[in-house]
Structure 1
Amino acid sequence: MSPDSMVMHFVGASALVLVAAHGAGWLARRLKQPYIVGQLTAGIALGPSLLGSVAPGAYEALFPAGISPALTGFAQFSLVVFLFAVGYELDLKVLGDRASTAVTVALAAFVVPMAAGSGCALLFRNQLADLGMPRDLTPGMVVFAGVALSITAVPVLTAIVRENGLSRTVPGVVAVSAAGLLDVIGWTVLAGTMLNGDHSASALSWPWRALLAAGFTALMLVGARPLLRRLLWGTRARMEPSLRLALLVGFALGSAWVTHTLGLHVIFGALLAGVVAPREEGGTLDPDLLRPLHDVSSLLLPFFFVVSGQSVALNNMNATGWVALLVVTFLAVTTKIGSGTAAARLSGLDRDDARTVGVLVSARGLTELIALNAGLQAGLLSEPLYTVLVFMALATTLLTQPLLLLVDRLAERPQATKAPPLQHPQDGTPTTSVADLT
């Protein structure tokens, strides 16, 4: 394919991706579902399973192999920007006097699904072999199976909380705070799993990679924030927001490159860069930084969904795959809701609020898809099992809203009797959320 032909194919494919994904997201919103559900569905529909089966000629013309590197590059760039924003917004200070409840819920909602997923991987090795996994699973594969059931999507959950009027209520704050802690735990375990895996991208053995990763993390946490504050916020004339944004995105890309070089995924470097990025005076978020981050992420994330959808192979799903999808979805929903509800109840929340917390922490969505994509690239998943888990993520996200309505119906109480608003502990105002993307 000539360079001119590749450029023209890429431009045409990009137009289709953007229009289809954002159109599907708008439709999902109209159906009372998160925006991301529509985008994920569009990404799968534009892949080989649907478009490739219905119109193989059109699929080959729209997505020739020559443009795959460009699509992947756009996908990774959007992912870095999105996760940088997620890390920047991660603020565990919002826990306030509900810290112990959120910690209890987070630990329960991680440990129970983790044990169920890892246990099933060990018990059903023969069935997993039918899905392309080796009969002798590595420890990393077993741990990753547990992580896949343990993840909660903070952006999607926050969007659901906001759209249901729960943002300033006790169950809403507890669920979002617990999800933030779940992210920290989940990404830490996932990083350890990938460090212990076999990564051809890094010639170093895993102990060296772990040591270098720990050193890089310590350097970022201790040195990066004061240095960035001095460079970007410490000048006499405050740096223009556009230049500050460009430098911070470059910083995130550099951090992502380092973690990828160490045998980790770019997601870890992007998150870490967001966590250490300096805030405004008093710890508030910089709106001149958040707004363009959200805009860029919202515009380009559909490329990530399409690239992820290329690996979803419905045509290769056999009877074992469909049974596995039912079992995994059932476990994903019941272990999350059950453990989250029980932990919230034991922490002092009433029955209805505890049920709401349990349902909310079962939402997955984009965070799950990012982890699954990283696991597939690291060789911890086969493509058929990846397909199963992608549809599990979609199903659990779709079920969140109906289950919330069921909880409200069981509670039989009007919206006005919900708990009073909880204000941000620093300035008494609501915080901006990356969930505006979803």
Structure 2
Amino acid sequence: MHSSQIVVVFLDLVVIMAMARSLGWLAERVGQPAVIGEITAGILAGPTVLGPHLSSTLFPLEIRPYLSLLANVGVAVFMFVAGLELDRGMFAGARRSISVVSAAAYGIPFVLGCGVAAIALSRHETGDRLNFALFIGCSLAVTAFPVLVRILHDRSMIRTEIGQLSLACAALVDLLAWSALAIVLAIAHPSVGSQWRPVLLVPVVAVTWWVVRPVLARLASVATEQTMIVVGVGGALLLGAVTEWTGLHLIFGAFAFGVVFPRAHRKPVESGARVLSSVLLPGFFVVSGLAVDLGSIDRTAVGELAVIVGVAIAGKLGSVYLAARMSGIGARPAAALAALLNTRGLTELVILNIGLGIGIIGPQLYSLLVVMALVTTAMTAPMLRMIGVSDPVAVDGPDGDASSSAESRRDPAGAA
């Protein structure tokens, strides 16, 4: 990396932070999560508004991989913090609800997405029809776990029952999403030398839970807060590198390290990690938005966008709500859970960038799917207000009542 490139990277980081912070603030002012403004900042800096020449001058193509690398560090650290926030007891207390809701939240939108790809998006096929359909199914079925965390934080819902339940479901949905995507990518680009790597996930999980977790607990009893911050960030990056190498994704390793990390020093570790993440994470949204060119959308693409958005919303909201009600969750919490799991954003953008990079989808369809991610994410806050959960206490009870019983606090499924 030449000194001139370092200068450009540094200047671009300043521009990204300024744009993301400004538009993120504006988004929050109108009741939206900051991520909406951050993605919009990337779209505004891309060819749609500035034109391809000015956009590539401000953010040169050869510089963008370095920006993406730094952004992925921010993503990993952010996911580590998300793991810290997860209540490990939630999985034991509501195992049935989590399993049923997660299976429906991924399976039904996946099938609908495959159907949409085969029927309404056939003109965008870039190669094998099966791979294309499966990839679109993955794209429409995903829930943006990191963005969901941001929304829950912004609305002070992160430690409510519905917040914790949505976190657990979103984590499982994204695990299904990355597993399915790994299969799709293996079909699209088979590589004999790396097909055995996913098998290592089982021992990695076992070692993380039964070896790393006890070691961290002992270390936390003697180490300083500064040492635990270094261990937390370093461990998140290390485990993220392991899961990325196995073909899952770095966000799951970082998240898993947060889950097993001891809670003794959580506040200082969380505060230190958030500072690093807040500086680097917006770069991912902006770089992703740079690839969006809405000027290429024609009349046919507008109709395709309507179909994509309609199927994505109906598939996710309907499947989650029905599955939640069948699991014994009350009507209002079920509706809130459906609205939260309809959130897309960071995870969606990661998947779309992979598909664009290896040629499964083209630039125009990529732009349409990014718009879909923006629309579904922007829907979350208004839907929660319509449901009546602007006050986070309102979703504590099994039927959406603020005064929940001790039993319902232990199991968010509650009674119907």
Same fold (TM over 0.5): yes
Aligned match of 1:314? 294
Q: Does structure 1 residue 274 correspond to structure 2 residue 258? A: yes
Q: Does structure 1 residue 247 correspond to structure 2 residue 231? A: yes
For 1:175 and 1:161, locate their aligned partners in 2 and report how far apart those are by CA, in whole Å: 9
RMSD: 3.4
Distance 1:60 1:149, change over 3 A: closer
Unaligned residue ranges in structure 1 (runs of 5+): 429-438
For 1:387 and 1:18, locate their aligned partners in 2 and report how far apart those are by CA, in whole Å: 23
Aligned match of 1:210? 198
Contact kept, 8 Å, 2:160 with 2:396, in 1: the verdict is: no
Aligned match of 1:394? 374
Shift of residue 343, structure 1, vs aligned partner: 1.9
Contact kept, 8 Å, 1:104 with 1:347, in 2: the verdict is: yes
Distance 1:289 1:162, change over 3 A: closer
Which range moves more in the overlay, 330-339 or 246-255?
A: 246-255
Which of 84, 87, 107 is equivalent to 2:83? Answer: 87
Residue type of the alignment partner of 1:256: G
Q: Does structure 1 residue 113 correspond to structure 2 residue 109? A: yes
Aligned match of 1:419? 401
Aligned match of 1:148? 139
Distance 1:175 1:182, change over 3 A: same
Superposition pairs for residues 97-246 of structure 1, below 5 Å?
A: 98-124=94-120, 126-129=122-125, 133-134=126-127, 136-139=128-131, 141-161=132-152, 171-172=162-163, 174-198=165-189, 204-206=193-195, 208-230=196-218, 232-233=219-220, 238-246=222-230
Give the TM-score taking structure 1 as reference length. 0.79
Shift of residue 196, structure 1, vs aligned partner: 4.8
Shift of residue 192, structure 1, vs aligned partner: 4.1
Distance 1:168 1:14, change over 3 A: closer
For 1:90 and 1:166, locate their aligned partners in 2 and report how far apart those are by CA, in whole Å: 12
For 1:270 and 1:415, locate their aligned partners in 2 and report how far apart those are by CA, in whole Å: 29
For 2:281 and 2:305, locate their aligned partners in 1 and report how far apart those are by CA, in whole Å: 26
Contact kept, 8 Å, 2:120 with 2:304, in 1: the verdict is: no
Distance 1:79 1:169, change over 3 A: closer
Shift of residue 160, structure 1, vs aligned partner: 4.2
Shift of residue 335, structure 1, vs aligned partner: 1.0
Distance 1:289 1:195, change over 3 A: farther
For 1:68 and 1:163, locate their aligned partners in 2 and report how far apart those are by CA, in whole Å: 29
Shift of residue 262, structure 1, vs aligned partner: 4.0
Give the TM-score taking structure 2 as reference length. 0.83
Which range moves more in the overlay, 168-177 or 18-27?
A: 168-177
Give secondary structure in 2 for the equivalent of 1:204. Answer: helix
Give secondary structure in 2 for the equivalent of 1:239. Answer: coil
For 1:186 and 1:424, locate their aligned partners in 2 and report how far apart those are by CA, in whole Å: 34
For 2:240 and 2:403, locate their aligned partners in 1 and report how far apart those are by CA, in whole Å: 38
For 2:396 and 2:322, locate their aligned partners in 1 and report how far apart those are by CA, in whole Å: 25
Distance 1:300 1:243, change over 3 A: same
Contact kept, 8 Å, 2:83 with 2:255, in 1: the verdict is: yes
Contact kept, 8 Å, 2:28 with 2:34, in 1: the verdict is: yes
Give secondary structure in 1 for the equivalent of 2:324. Answer: helix
